[in-house]
């Protein structure tokens, strides 16, 4: 058994597959595929109509995954199918916590459809169990809302926000203001910025360590932890705002730089 996994009660669901069997299959699936969103470069997320679980879509068979991706394409969602290698399983499952996902929808749309709560499969250390001095920086509520927002925005393909998207945008901003984030800094202390195709400059910000590591891969960078209220104070002069998780959800937010008052 891989470290971090926990067995649970052997409950039989409506398909006749026991929870124990599903858990065992997810630990050693042989092959496992996930539906990825082209809008976010992250696993595609769905909200269950009945349970309101926030789910990712997993399949044991490539053909079943491709069929689901085809149905999503009919709904104008751009997706792709990615294979999860066995050595990636634990890291993948654990990363879902930082995304705000709480459930795995397995073989959705097939006669083997079932679902498993993430906490039934992977056990994480609680914040109070972390070593002294260690702080877990994650913003799952913001990250999840951003994923839904960008999936829907790209599906509509229009700059005009629907009422649903405006509601999501308000929720996003509320989560953002409450959050604490990771800021990248080069060894000499410089804060990197990203230039967009239109010439606008944004300062990258990360919801969690995994997103920072994507950005910093191959570079010597350190992390700074900063609450949302302090971001205007450290914003680069040329920056129009911030871009959250640029190699993932790539969400741009307008933030006004706080000009330093001269000493009296």
CB atoms near residue 87 (< 10 Å): 7
Report whether 40 contacts 249 (CB < 8 A).
yes
Of 91, 121, 151, the domain-final residue: 121
Provide the domain limits for residue 77. 19-121
Whether 156 and 110 share a structural domain = no
Using a pLDDT cut of 70, give the percent of the chain over it.
87
Whether 34 and 101 share a structural domain = yes
Q: pLDDT band at residue 264, thresholds of 50, 70 and 90?
A: very low
Distance of CA 264 to the CA centre of its chain: 45
At 114, which CATH number? 3.40.1350.90
Residue 85: is its pLDDT beyond 70?
Answer: yes
Q: pLDDT band at residue 259, thresholds of 50, 70 and 90?
A: low
Residue 12 confidence (pLDDT) = 46
Whether 117 and 144 share a structural domain = no
Q: What average pLDDT does range 5-22 have in this prediction?
A: 57
For residues 250 and 244, what is the distance between their CA atoms, to the nearest angstrom? 6
How many alpha carbons fall within 13 Å on the CB side of residue 140? 12
Whether 116 and 159 share a structural domain = no
Report whether 79 contacts 90 (CB < 8 A).
no
Residue 198 confidence (pLDDT) = 86
Domain count across the chain: 2
Whether 243 and 159 share a structural domain = yes
Radius of gyration of the chain (CA): 20
Whether 172 and 73 share a structural domain = no
Residue 246 confidence (pLDDT) = 96
Report whether 31 contacts 81 (CB < 8 A).
no
Of 92, 121, 150, the domain-final residue: 121
Q: pLDDT band at residue 189, thresholds of 50, 70 and 90?
A: confident
Residue 53 confidence (pLDDT) = 97
Can you count the helices (H) and strands (E) in the chain? 8, 13
Q: pLDDT band at residue 124, thresholds of 50, 70 and 90?
A: confident
Q: How far is CA 91 from CA 44, 84, 85, 107, 165, in A?
A: 17, 10, 11, 21, 31
CB atoms near residue 105 (< 10 Å): 20
Tell me the backbone φ, ψ of residue 58, rounded to 5 degrees: -120, 145
Mean pLDDT of the chain: 88
Identify whether 6 is part of a domain: no
Of 65, 88, 121, the domain-final residue: 121
Residue 217 confidence (pLDDT) = 92
Identify whether 167 is part of a domain: yes
Report whether 226 contacts 176 (CB < 8 A).
no
Q: What average pLDDT does range 138-146 have in this prediction?
A: 97
Residue 188 confidence (pLDDT) = 79
Identify whether 130 is part of a domain: no
Whether 113 and 154 share a structural domain = no
CB atoms near residue 155 (< 10 Å): 15
Q: How far is CA 70 from CA 43, 51, 76, 108, in A?
A: 16, 24, 10, 13
Whether 107 and 58 share a structural domain = yes
Q: pLDDT band at residue 196, thresholds of 50, 70 and 90?
A: confident
Residue 260: is its pLDDT beyond 70?
Answer: no
Residue 208: is its pLDDT beyond 90?
Answer: yes
Q: What average pLDDT does range 16-21 have in this prediction?
A: 78
Identify whether 221 is part of a domain: yes
Residue 7: is its pLDDT beyond 50?
Answer: no
Whether 151 and 239 share a structural domain = yes
Q: pLDDT band at residue 10, thresholds of 50, 70 and 90?
A: very low
Residue 129 confidence (pLDDT) = 61
Higher pLDDT, 3 or 227: 227
């Amino acid at each position: 058994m891989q470290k971090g996994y926990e067995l649970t009660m052997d409950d039989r669901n409506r398909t006749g597959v026991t929870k124990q069997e599903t858990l065992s299959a997810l630990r050693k699936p042989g092959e496992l595929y996930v539906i990825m969103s082209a809008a976010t470069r992250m696993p595609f997320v769905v909200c269950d109509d009945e349970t309101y679980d926030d789910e990712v879509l997993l399949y044991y068979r490539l053909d079943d995954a491709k069929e689901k991706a085809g149905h999503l394409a009919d709904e104008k969602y751009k997706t792709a199918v990615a294979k999860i290698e066995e050595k990636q399983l634990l890291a993948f499952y654990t990363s879902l916590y930082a995304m705000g996902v709480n459930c795995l929808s397995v073989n959705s749309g097939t006669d083997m459809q079932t679902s498993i709560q993430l906490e039934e499969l992977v056990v994480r250390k609680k914040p109070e169990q972390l070593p002294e001095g260690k702080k877990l920086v994650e913003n799952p509520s913001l990250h999840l809302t951003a994923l839904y927002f960008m999936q829907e925005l790209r599906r509509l393909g229009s700059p005009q926000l629907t009422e649903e998207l405006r509601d999501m945008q308000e929720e996003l901003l509320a989560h953002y203001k409450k959050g604490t984030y990771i800021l990248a800094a080069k060894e000499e202390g410089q804060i990197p910025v990203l230039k967009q195709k239109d010439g606008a400059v944004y300062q990258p910000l990360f919801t969690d360590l995994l997103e920072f590591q994507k950005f910093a891969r191959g570079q010597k960078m350190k992390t700074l932890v900063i609450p949302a209220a302090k971001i205007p104070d450290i914003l680069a002069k040329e920056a129009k705002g911030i871009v959250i998780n640029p190699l993932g959800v790539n969400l741009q937010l307008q933030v006004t730089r706080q000009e330093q008052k001269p000493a009296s």
